[in-house]
Structure 1
Amino acid sequence: MKHEESAREAVSAKKTMSGPEVHRVNFGSVGSALNKVVQTLPNQRLWLLIDEWSEVPIDLQPLLADLLRRAVFPIKGVTVKIAAIEQRSRLFTPDSSVGNIGLELGADLSTALNLDDFMVFDNDEEKAVSFFRTLVLKHVQVALEAESMSAPMSEISFISQGFTQTNAFDEAVRACEGVPRDVIHILSHAAQKANDELISVGDVRTAAQQWYQASKDTAVSSHVKAKSLLTWIVDKVIKERQTKAFLLEVGTRDDLIDFLYDARVLHVLRKSMSAQDEPGKRFHVYGIDYGCYVDLIKTNRAPRGFLDLGINTPSISIIVPRTDFRSIRRCVLNLRDFYGQVEVTSGSGTN
């Protein structure tokens, strides 16, 4: 009897596998488990906040979105908020064999707000300056209080105690291109340059160049093809068109553009604009990073039309032009020209 039981135990523990192992997620089980969690919460309410969505590999994003649609969205009492970079996100994939995969904008979820409308200087100067004043003031208050030092209690006193004039802080908001961590680093460099003096516009511009060289130029230079594309954009856009922004057709997917965007050397300034010479098409407006622009002006790559005023005071020696959205309607970037040039160059090098 004991022998038979031990034999049965040995057989029951045996497992034979062949071929690649495929992991599966049962959407129904996930939904049921989450529903039980919600039922135990106060007021039976759950807010699911998903940040850095774009860090998920882009091919997996529609699958994760489909999990949310099938297992999370149907649950009563659950609210889902997703923070994502539009250019690096793919929520939906059409598939005729199994039906659509993922979340469809408009049908399954809607866009609540675009942070660039509040944080990019060229989109709305007043909103951007207001946002960053509040943000930086809170950082300053926490830092000074940690050192048992008195901190400014209002935004007005913060600006008057730290800057030579109001537009010196505004220039930092322009320089960060809507990226909060960049404004912190730029102001840190500017404060070190100013030493015991108030921060000036010139300090901000020099700091923006230093931050670009320290954090962005090194990363871009390590990617030979991306550096080549950036140089080509500088030649075609800044030098020939005499502007710091250009149009790229909506829906364009390019690995090098994505790399420069992720490296914060290119920024999306405005979405869905029309071009003067290409009716019926929609374009996103990309701008070259403020610090990159200053770096170009201070080198022999300086673009025509934006030269030093000849006055050597630190505060006004460099003028970084504001983006004129009307003047760039003719400045459409055609990546085929760049890749055609690369093919010709590589072909001539191999002969």
Structure 2
Amino acid sequence: MDKQDHKLLNQTILALFPRAEKYSEFHLENSFVDIANLSTLLSIPVNQIIYGRRGTGKTHLFTYQSFKLKQKGAMTVNIDLRTVGSNGGIYGDKKTSLNERASALTRDVLIYTINEFLNYVLYTKKEEVVLEDFEEIYEQLHQAINQIEIVGTLQSNQNEKHIELNENQESKEKTTGNIIKGRPYNRISFPSINKLFNKLIEIMKIDSIFIFLDEWSEIPIELQPYLADLLRRTLFPIKKISLKIAAIQYRSNFIIQKDSHSYIGLELGSDIATSIDLDELVVFENNFDTSRDFFSRFIFNHITNQGYNNDILQKYRITTSKELIDIMFSDQDAFDEIIKASEGNPRDAIQILQESAMKANGFKISQEHIREGARQFFNKSKEYNVRAREDAYPFLQWIIRSVIKERGVRAFLLGASRRNELIDFLYSNRVLHIIKSGIIDLDNPDRRYRVYAIDYGCYIDLLRADKAPQGLLSYKNERNNVKYIKVLENQYGPLVLERAVLKLEEYRKSMNK
């Protein structure tokens, strides 16, 4: 391939979109790469939470799965929680009480859902459903969701059970007659909503409905347990409805535990399954072959379905992912470098690849192009975001000194039950990466650790100076010689743990000097 053709090939990379919502449904269907039977897991009619940080493919996964389920005759509802509702500003308005904000959010989610039911009937089941019957129940359900208590006094002979949330974060059932005073606010009547939903589904003649709630972590975190609780009471009891929630683990809060017997929200593992974590699936250290296979197919599928400069692919008869990788990269080390640099994150991989393709221009993409592209991407995005938080950047620099410079490695251990706000912040911004969970302390088997790896961008310049980390973890043997661990095991003794566990209290001491 000559210089001009390499330039055209690299331009196909520049035409890619980092975000799934920019693509057509056709592109998302044909570019999806299934891994670890994700598609099968999501097709099971149970309520599930899918964890994954930004860029791990949650939206792509939901869109693809929705398409496949519709092909099998199921109904799907896709809800982007960033955009739901006409008055989204109320959700973050701290001047408005929690019960009003939570009720408004739940109302918007439920109304969006039944509007999708209406669209489904009008455009898919029009010939099979008696519209008059549907419209009657639809209106009743709409009214049940939108019940309000009116300023002044309202007489009613009907008593009704409903759930209210108060300022003390309590959820309780009341039986009331409608003699009410105070300003209007939304009230959710769960028994009537459950009953009307079941009637509506019966009229629709549908066997299964999958509701995909994307961008859960964009909801104010103090509202999340309330929305979870209200969904548990309204939609979870309906047998034909399955909810799938996409969330960022450390930006999510599904439960407020009141005491040992009562709670607000969702009890993970009991009310809802949490079997899928996208962050750990394609980390290079966990499985070299799986990572290479995933990213080669990921790049190939996106480029061949983009339709930009596809003539160059036809000219060289590129029909497989291996053929594309061989002609695009200078060697296997260069391709492996893009996987390492992205730390298993597909969106980051696209953006680093685009920076690298610009550097390569009319040549094959080399390891040095990727390193320079990764440095540019890190400086313009991740480092910028970390610097925006005053206390985060010094903390990151301390981690880099303690782990990379002093120990010569790029990973460390933290107790699985230990939470630190700055660690969570760096993890959410993809500057730290969890590459393995559940490491066991051999001397204390009840203790578990997570392995955090430092982002490639943090030590990119050390690679050029031949000062790169020598492994993931290190330890000193009986002769006091440093040994490096490159492949992680499931358990370690004190020899490794003493050197591998990051002691956060040392950072606090250094800040007090």
Q: How far apart are residue 192 of structure 1 and its match?
A: 1.3
Which secondary structure state, in structure 1, belongs to the residue aligned with residue 273 of structure 2?
coil
Seen in structure 2, the aligned counterparts of structure 1 residues 262 and 188 have a Cα distance that, compared at 3 Å, is: same
**Letter of the structure 2 residue corresponding to residue 231 of structure 1:** Q
Deviates more, 1:17-26 or 1:155-164: 17-26
Contact 2:331 2:366 in 1 (8 A): yes
Q: How far apart are residue 49 of structure 1 and its match?
A: 1.3
Selected match of 1:232 from 398, 408, 416: 398
Q: How far apart are residue 95 of structure 1 and its match?
A: 1.1
Correspondence for 1:124: 287
Contact 2:227 2:265 in 1 (8 A): yes
Contact 2:152 2:182 in 1 (8 A): no
Contact 2:413 2:502 in 1 (8 A): yes
Deviates more, 1:182-191 or 1:249-258: 249-258
Trace 1:278-317 onto structure 2 (pairs within 5 A): 280-297=446-463
Which secondary structure state, in structure 2, belongs to the residue aligned with residue 214 of structure 1?
helix
| Percent identity (aligned) | 38
**Letter of the structure 2 residue corresponding to residue 93 of structure 1:** I
**Letter of the structure 2 residue corresponding to residue 205 of structure 1:** R
Q: How far apart are residue 228 of structure 1 and its match?
A: 0.8
State the aligned residue count: 316
**Letter of the structure 1 residue corresponding to residue 456 of structure 2:** Y
Deviation string 1:276-333 (CA, Å, 9 cap, x unpaired) is: 6765321111111012221455589x67869xxxxxxxxxxxxxx9854359643112
Trace 1:1-351 onto structure 2 (pairs within 5 A): 15=152, 23-96=186-259, 99-143=262-306, 145-147=307-309, 149-151=311-313, 152-275=318-441, 280-297=446-463, 323-325=486-488, 329=497, 330-342=499-511, 344-345=512-513
Question: C-alpha distance in 2, partners of 1:168/1:240?
Answer: 28
Question: C-alpha distance in 1, partners of 2:342/2:409?
Answer: 18
Deviation string 1:160-183 (CA, Å, 9 cap, x unpaired) is: 221122332222112111211100
Deviates more, 1:105-114 or 1:132-141: 105-114
Deviates more, 1:190-199 or 1:89-98: 89-98
**Letter of the structure 2 residue corresponding to residue 28 of structure 1:** P
Q: How far apart are residue 29 of structure 1 and its match?
A: 4.5
Question: C-alpha distance in 2, partners of 1:126/1:240?
Answer: 31
Which secondary structure state, in structure 2, belongs to the residue aligned with residue 252 of structure 1?
coil
Contact 2:411 2:454 in 1 (8 A): yes
Deviation string 1:80-118 (CA, Å, 9 cap, x unpaired) is: 222223333332332139822222233222233332342
Contact 1:273 1:283 in 2 (8 A): yes
Seen in structure 2, the aligned counterparts of structure 1 residues 203 and 36 have a Cα distance that, compared at 3 Å, is: farther
Q: How far apart are residue 46 of structure 1 and its match?
A: 0.5
Q: How far apart are residue 78 of structure 1 and its match?
A: 1.1
Seen in structure 2, the aligned counterparts of structure 1 residues 36 and 161 have a Cα distance that, compared at 3 Å, is: farther
**Letter of the structure 1 residue corresponding to residue 488 of structure 2:** F
Seen in structure 2, the aligned counterparts of structure 1 residues 132 and 244 have a Cα distance that, compared at 3 Å, is: same
Question: C-alpha distance in 2, partners of 1:242/1:125?
Answer: 22
Seen in structure 2, the aligned counterparts of structure 1 residues 260 and 14 have a Cα distance that, compared at 3 Å, is: closer
Contact 2:414 2:501 in 1 (8 A): yes
Question: C-alpha distance in 1, partners of 2:381/2:451?
Answer: 23
Across the aligned residues of Structure 1 and Structure 2, the Cα RMSD in angstroms comes to: 3.1
Unaligned 5+ runs, structure 1: 1-12, 307-320, 346-351
Q: How far apart are residue 42 of structure 1 and its match?
A: 4.9
Correspondence for 2:66: none
Question: C-alpha distance in 1, partners of 2:509/2:181?
Answer: 48
Question: C-alpha distance in 2, partners of 1:304/1:46?
Answer: 49
Question: C-alpha distance in 1, partners of 2:425/2:237?
Answer: 36
**With structure 2 as the length reference, what TM-score do the two structures score?**
0.55
Question: C-alpha distance in 1, partners of 2:152/2:486?
Answer: 66
Question: C-alpha distance in 2, partners of 1:250/1:295?
Answer: 31
Seen in structure 2, the aligned counterparts of structure 1 residues 98 and 232 have a Cα distance that, compared at 3 Å, is: same
Question: C-alpha distance in 1, partners of 2:439/2:312?
Answer: 47
Contact 1:267 1:287 in 2 (8 A): yes
Which secondary structure state, in structure 2, belongs to the residue aligned with residue 285 of structure 1?
strand
Question: C-alpha distance in 2, partners of 1:97/1:15?
Answer: 39
Deviates more, 1:210-219 or 1:134-143: 134-143
Seen in structure 2, the aligned counterparts of structure 1 residues 66 and 14 have a Cα distance that, compared at 3 Å, is: closer
Seen in structure 2, the aligned counterparts of structure 1 residues 128 and 37 have a Cα distance that, compared at 3 Å, is: farther
Question: C-alpha distance in 2, partners of 1:29/1:295?
Answer: 62
Question: C-alpha distance in 2, partners of 1:124/1:303?
Answer: 21
Seen in structure 2, the aligned counterparts of structure 1 residues 305 and 121 have a Cα distance that, compared at 3 Å, is: closer
Deviation string 1:37-69 (CA, Å, 9 cap, x unpaired) is: 433445331001122322233332222222222
Unaligned 5+ runs, structure 2: 1-149, 154-179, 472-483
